[in-house]
Amino acid sequence: MLEPAPMNAVYSFAELQNWPAATMGETPAIRLGVFGDPVAHSKSPAMHNAALQACGIDARYCRLHIRAGELEAALRLLPEQDFIGANITIPHKAAALAAVDEADDYSRQSRAVNTVVVRDKTLVGFNTDGPGLVRAIRADFGADLRDLRVMLLGAGGGAGRAIAVQCVRENCERLVLVNRTFEKAKTLAEELAPFSRAARLEVLPIAQLLKTHLENTDLIINATSVGMNPDDPPLLPASLLSPHLMVYDTIYTTHRTPLLNAAEEAGARAANGLSMLLHQGALSFEIWFNRDAPIDAMREALLS
Ligand code: NAP
């Protein structure tokens, strides 16, 4: 008789192929998981297992270490192994879009899938990052993204693209795309321009950012990876920031990022990416189970 795997176990593709044997003795059965590489750090199992328990759903959620060459086959195993669905994280979100049978408009436009649901043996893809950010901004700042003039730092990355697409879909009053590699932000702006009705779309290299650019901004979003390490330099100095600003850092490390410290020093309101993580997870839960997510239990699990 096999010992049940510990809650923080990481399963491999080979184990997914032999799921009944790999998870023998697991109760409730593991029918959800997050695919990533690396994945050992993921907070999603804590958040989703708390949600499943709070709702009395007889299923569990695990980490799956899936390498790039294994993604499509791993997704195809989900119906066979009786999964409800899965989350997809770094570096697979773009490849997952190509692998699913259907995808919603937002995931196609953001070119990324972070949530898969098994419906009648087919794989349907969604991206909850942008809608999760909308809920996070409302929860942290009591403001609607659609009413804000947004400056997005890191418009060249995957998270930056998802957020930029969401801002355009919300018809944000103003959207300034800022990136270290200017060409990437420019290409994204050209692509989004035909969809941008109310939004005034501008592009700026990060090195040329001046205080005047921030006068017509309500919300700064950091979607770069700068700040993941506590020794990173602040992305923007406090001298550029003002008390009228809201500063949202998508990074959700336990340390306060240098950008959030700079925001606090400038008297601006600031929040980190934990709320985006929470709300994108809650939206995944809603997709899998077609019911509201137990947000308090999920938040508590993330904070413990
Ligand atoms: P990515 O695709 O690798 O993009 C990284 C971005 O950071 C690019 O725009 C890159 O600019 C920029 N960058 C990197 N180093 C820089 C530097 N030294 N100076 C200025 N810009 C720099 O990464 P990603 O997957 O989009 O993730 C980005 C961040 O979003 C991560 O910190 C992640 O934790 C966060 N995130 C949070 C959530 C959440 O739920 N809270 C969800 C998704 C992502 P170039 O284009 O010039 O390279």
Q: In this predicted model, what pLDDT tens digit does every residue of 223-282 receive, in sequence order?
A: 999 999 989 998 999 999 999 999 999 999 989 999 999 999 999 999 999 999 999 999
What confidence tens digit (pLDDT) does each residue in 178-209 have? 999 999 999 999 999 988 775 689 999 888 88
Is the confidence at residue 8, as pLDDT, over 80?
no
Nearest CA, atom 36, ligand 1: 250
Q: Which atom of ligand 1 lies closest to the CA of 232?
A: 18
Give 235's DSSP letter.
Answer: S
Please answer whether residues 151 and 221 qualify as being in contact, where contact means their C-beta atoms are separated by less than 8 angstroms. Answer: yes
Is the confidence at residue 13, as pLDDT, over 50?
yes
Is the confidence at residue 118, as pLDDT, over 90?
yes
Nearest CA, atom 32, ligand 1: 225
Nearest-5° angle of CA 190, CA 196, CA 201? 60
Is the confidence at residue 162, as pLDDT, over 90?
yes
Q: Tell which phi-psi region holds residue 25, choosing left (phi > 0), alpha (psi between -120 and 50) or beta.
A: left
| Centre of ligand 1 from the C-alpha of residue 159, in Å | 7
Tokens of 123: 């794989």
Instruction: For residue 32, give every residue at least 6 positions away whose Cβ sits within 8 Å of its Cβ, in sequence order, or none.
Output: 48, 52, 59, 60, 61, 62, 83, 84, 85, 86, 87, 288
Distances (CA, A) of 223 to 163, 198, 220: 8, 23, 10
Is the confidence at residue 3, as pLDDT, over 50?
no
Active-site residue, from 43, 93, 121, 184? 93
Concerning whether 43 is annotated as a catalytic residue, the answer is no
| Centre of ligand 1 from the C-alpha of residue 109, in Å | 18
Is the confidence at residue 1, as pLDDT, over 60?
no
Q: How many CA atoms lie within 13 A of 186 on its CB side?
A: 7
Give 68's DSSP letter.
Answer: G
SS3 122: strand
